[in-house]
């Protein structure tokens, strides 16, 4: 089976990383102690919506980021893309060294995300509890954010080497969530 064109795969992985960060930021907004404290009453008022929404954001982040570092053949993931851009002779030696170093830096966190994907979400283990999987992964929100930062640096290095536009993260979804919660907090259940 023929692979999609390299440029398409590079742009796609960039979008996966950007989307993963979007979902991480939204999960963090709804779950982080300080922000949650400000919005919990509104979340309780609309409980049937917010009961699983933050969880869905975390699951989506994990699925996207585990895919970015997937080792299966035929997937759009960073390690094969780095090799392919190198083989095409389009990655300068210094840039190749940086990409490899960043990939090595990301590996310990990517391995933790893979544990979550394989044992808690995509393939729910029958041998370990959900909470035990999170203890096993031992990953912190700051590490999840760092993983997206590193992954996007690698991807942008590859994109630029191919003469493509780099990609970037946006704060707009989180800002929209904050605005939505402000609007919702101004409406009581009697007004619905």
Whole-angstrom distance, CA of residue 115 vs CA of residue 158: 27
Position 192 scores a pLDDT of 38
For the CA atoms of 113, 56, 189, 172, the dihedral, rounded to the nearest 10 degrees, stands at 70
Tokens linked to 135: 């203890």
Task: Return the minimum-mean-pLDDT range out of 18-27, 70-79, 153-162.
Answer: 70-79
Residue 24 · residue 1 · CB < 8 Å = no
Buried/exposed code over 167-191 (b: 16+ C-beta within 10 A; e: otherwise) = bebeeebbeebeeebeeeeeeeeee
Burial tier of 160 (Cβ tally within 10 Å: 0-12, 13-18, 19+): middle
Q: What angle do CA 101, 106, 107 make, to 5 degrees?
A: 100
The pTM is what? 0.92
Task: Decide: 41 and 185 in contact? Cβ < 8 Å.
Answer: yes
pLDDT of 179 above 50? yes
**pLDDT of the residue at 187:** 66
User: What is the per-residue pLDDT for 69?
Assistant: 97
- 66: CB partners within 8 A, 6+ apart: 110, 113, 114, 116, 117, 118, 122
For residue 166, the SS3 value is coil
Across the chain, mean pLDDT equals: 93
Q: What is the tens place of the pLDDT at every residue in 59-91?
A: 999 999 999 999 888 899 999 999 999 999 999
Place of tokens 């400000």: 38
Structural tokens at position 50: 């917010």
């Amino acid at each position: 089976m023929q692979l999609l064109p390299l440029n398409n795969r590079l742009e796609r992985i960039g979008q996966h990383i950007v989307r993963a960060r979007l979902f991480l930021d939204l999960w963090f907004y709804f779950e982080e102690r300080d922000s949650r404290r400000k919005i919990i009453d509104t979340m309780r008022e609309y409980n049937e919506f917010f009961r699983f929404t933050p969880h869905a954001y975390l699951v989506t982040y994990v699925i996207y980021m585990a895919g970015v570092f997937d080792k299966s053949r035929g997937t759009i993931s960073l390690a094969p893309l780095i090799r392919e851009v190198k083989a095409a002779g389009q990655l300068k030696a210094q840039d190749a060294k940086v990409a490899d170093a960043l990939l090595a830096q990301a590996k310990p966190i990517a391995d933790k995300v893979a544990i979550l994907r394989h044992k808690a979400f995509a393939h729910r283990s029958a041998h370990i509890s959900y909470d035990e999987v999170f203890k096993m992964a031992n990953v912190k929100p700051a590490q999840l954010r760092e993983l997206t930062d590193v992954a996007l640096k690698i991807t942008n290095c590859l994109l630029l080497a191919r003469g493509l536009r780099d990609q970037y993260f946006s704060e707009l979804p989180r800002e929209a969530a904050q605005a939505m919660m402000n609007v919702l907090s101004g409406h009581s259940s009697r007004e619905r």
